[in-house]
Chains A and B, each alone.
Chain A
Amino acid sequence: MSAMTPRARPPIQSAYLDHNATTPLAATARAAINAYLDAPGANPSSVHTLGRSAKAALEAARRQVAVALDVRPAEVVLTSGATEALHLAVGGMLGAGAHVVTTAIEHPAMYGALDAAGASSVRVAPSADGRVLPDDIARAVLPTTRLVAVIGAQNEIGTLQPLSEIVRAVGEIPVLCDATQMWGKVALRPRELGLDAVALSGHKVGAPAGIGVLWLASGRCITPLQRGGAHERGRRAGTENLLGAIGLGASVAELGARLGSMARVRALRDRLLEGLRALEPSLVVHGDLDHTLPNTLAFRVQDLPADAVLAGLDLAGICISAGSACASGAVEASPVLRALGLSDSEARRGLRVSLGPENTDAEVDAALRAWPDVARRIREAET
């Protein structure tokens, strides 16, 4: 194996600008997890002292999540992440064949959950600015519609959807929101918004991946998908991911600070956009920045395929993202950008920069410094 000793290490990352993909582990989450790693472990379902202590830690984490969302702890179902939360919400609330109104700009996890539940769904298209009109949603509702399922902030373009207006427009029909990208970036109070269910993921707010939340409004019952135990008040069987829950609780205990940093994050993003515009006059922003997450910038530039930009910037130590990447790592024409009315070749130029509280001015500078060489090489070689 000696020959396999890495020689050419990848360049040291000089800017991580992909927080919508995942956030770095928050210091508070790390500390809380570390502290519990050194404690004697036990199953929260066990009767003995250590078991009760584990259960107490789990419930403390649940309370932290509930406080962050301004909801009751009993309404919080801890899951493995947002994908499971969506599957549990849709599959647990609906019978097969139920009619669902959703949008054309959902995360694939939502479509997967609807498919898995055997729902018959209609996808409402957004307007060109990336927002779905509440009236369009209302018009798609049938007498048989059992659920409205909408993304809160679109993961690729960051566009914020008019949630409370949608809730009002559809009246009594329950509304499920995939709020994964909203959490920690804009205020999220599910009850104030009038929502009935919300899916969330820990690793977008500084917790590790593998822990997430389904919030269910009080009184809303679901049939569990995983059975074989009374965990999570009978809504999800399986020994709980206690370390994940502890990390999540600790990270969202500081959600206020995270939200408070967003003004600075927005300023960084806007400075990055200004700099990029100066370098690339053909830059087109995707979505309406007035209704977009403060940390997200989605755009395209003439002549620059997203996958080439992505690789070129990566070689310079700058981590960003394209609209849509599949498991193999190939960059595809994003269905979300297509839904906004972009052509296939425009969609293949879609880039996404997403910042976080950890980012600095120096990182924005590094990205702006790296850009011209990357763009010039691509234009020389490929056009």
Chain B
Amino acid sequence: MTRSVSATFDAVAWSWVDHLRHRGCTPWLDWVARPDPADPLVAGRLPGAAQLETVRRLAARPRSAEVPFTDLAELVLDRAAPGRGPDDLPLLWPHGDAREGFGPPPVDPARIPASELVRVLVGALAELLVRTPDEDRPAHRTRRRRLAVVGSPALAPALRATLGRGEPAGAGVVVLAEPMDELLGQTWTLRMRRGGIAPWPRHVERCARTGRLPRAADSARTAAHWAERVGSDQVHLVVARPGEEYDAQRAAADALGIEIGDAAAPRRRGPGPAQAELLRRLNQVLRGRTPADRHRALVNRLVPLLAGDPRAHRLTVPARYEGWLRHTAEQAVHRLREGGFRVHGELDALLPAAPDTSGPSDWDLLDLALDTCLAVAGGPATSVVLTSGGARR
């Protein structure tokens, strides 16, 4: 590349950076192909192509108008992506190779894999979160009368909240049981919510290898545990299939003798598979950046801002563990059938079913990460977060 070609490249590239900083979202090769680029030449090293493409995609999201975009763009452009992967990627220049004979190959930013853009966004999100000031915690929590509604981590909290408003007639315990694959997925998402870093397949693998399910995924163990305390005839096993939450709530209320009137269907809690995967990647970064207690607090703050529909995807059990899971679920159903519990619903519904939706793709995760990043950047602490000094880049 001659000096004049290099100068042209620099001029066009820096004008594109300027365009992106101001919420422009023209792809790089379209920008290069413009007949007359207005080229403010800026000295210095161009940001990496992955960072630039991330900013472009952030700008293209509807919510980008609601955040101080230039500051956010600066934060993204000035940071390396955390963890391992290609860094400092040069922009593809259709008129020659801008390199000095070494370094990573130039790329068309539009063709950078979604997983790499997610890596950039996870770093930006971690940075945004770490910069947020600590919140004052309330001195004490308001204690809600605890009702014995246990089981499904996604559903039990909502039912406890609804049923807690009524007065129970007896001393029974409701065990909310769902298909075992669903519960196993919930235990994983819950772990990611609490700082976990194990990918979903490894979570399943570990359970299969040890032959032990997490307590919340093992309805038979939960029911047996409560039967020892209150007697099996006081344990109400409510089968709660996804999509039948309202029926499950009604059955639980009837079991406990609680009048709930026309209460709405309970909303499932907890992140969905895509949200949990984003949390997992974020946890990997945060645990190296903040002490464990602050890490937990930051994730707590992030969870309400997580974008996307938690029910858009379902986790699928890796094929080689399907047999193990089915066998385990059949054993659990057998134990539940023989346990003398009061069963509300069809126990066979607890066997794992082939999911009707697929797991999140990298592109789903990218959309989620983009919107979550904008949600955090547009949050109440934005001015502090985006302008605070001393942060790493």
Whether both chains belong to one complex is answered with no
Chain A contact residues, CB within 8 Å of chain B: none
